[in-house]
A and B are shown apart, each in its own frame.
Chain A
Amino acid sequence: MNADVPLWVEAVVAMLLVLSGAFVLVSAIGFLRLGDFFLRMHPPALAYTFGSWSVALAGVIYFSVLESRLVLHPWLIVIVLSITVPVTTLLLARVALFRRRSARMADTPPPLTAPRGP
């Protein structure tokens, strides 16, 4: 094991990891407790943003200090997630809306393209 990482850098990295763990735990608790699917789609966004940002930032700081050069590639995961997660979320929202409409549940919003009259 390398001993050349200063203590304060390890403390910062540990704090970011603890922050990420707390965010992921809070999002999982919210995902379990909320009642409706449209409500339940919101807590994962907390983990997908702050959870992954904290871990990626911890990786950037730790490996930059460890290899004494600028290591930015852990941030690539944040970029990939910021592209892919909205697509998945939008598809799942459309799935939920489609299934509510086809089951003719109450208080389902009407389609935007439907004729509404004057």
Chain B
Amino acid sequence: MSPILQAGVVFALGCYAVASLLVLVRLLRGPRAQDRVLSLDMLYFHAMLVTLVLGIHQQSDQYFEVALLIALFGFVSSSAMAKFILRGEVIE
């Protein structure tokens, strides 16, 4: 792995870390519940991106399935929380 790709991976991971910290501030400060749900969804998305970039860094295909599972779980949990806030119960 060349230093160029190494620098790109480190820069992307650093950007994701800073972005996750900023979203965490909104998660703790968020005035209402929907802000917190959207923050959690974005944190799931950042974790998925970190997994994909680590897969490129390790030159491994296994990380892709982990990223797909994280994306699906993020969708399920966010929509369940949104439905709970909207109706008071998840499954009607």
Contact = CB atoms under 8 A, between A and B. Distances in A.
A24 B52 contact: no
Interface centre among A11, A37, A73, A95 (most CB of B within 10 A): A95
Contacts of B52: 55-56, 59, 74, 77
Interface residues of B, number: 52
Given A51-B49, A77-B71, A91-B86, A21 B14 contact: yes
B22 A28 contact: yes
B76 to A, nearest CB: 9
Contact of B45 (A7, A41, A48): A48
B22 A95 contact: no
A27 B41 CA distance: 13
Nearest to A93: B34
Interface string B52-92: 11011001010010011001101100110011011000000
Interface in B1-60: 1-2, 4-5, 7-9, 11-16, 18-20, 22-23, 25-26, 32-35, 37-39, 41-42, 45-46, 48-49, 52-53, 55-56, 59
B2 A17 contact: no
Contacts of A62: 56
Lowest 5 CB-CB distances: which A-B pairs, in order? A14-B8, A21-B15, A28-B19, A84-B75, A91-B82
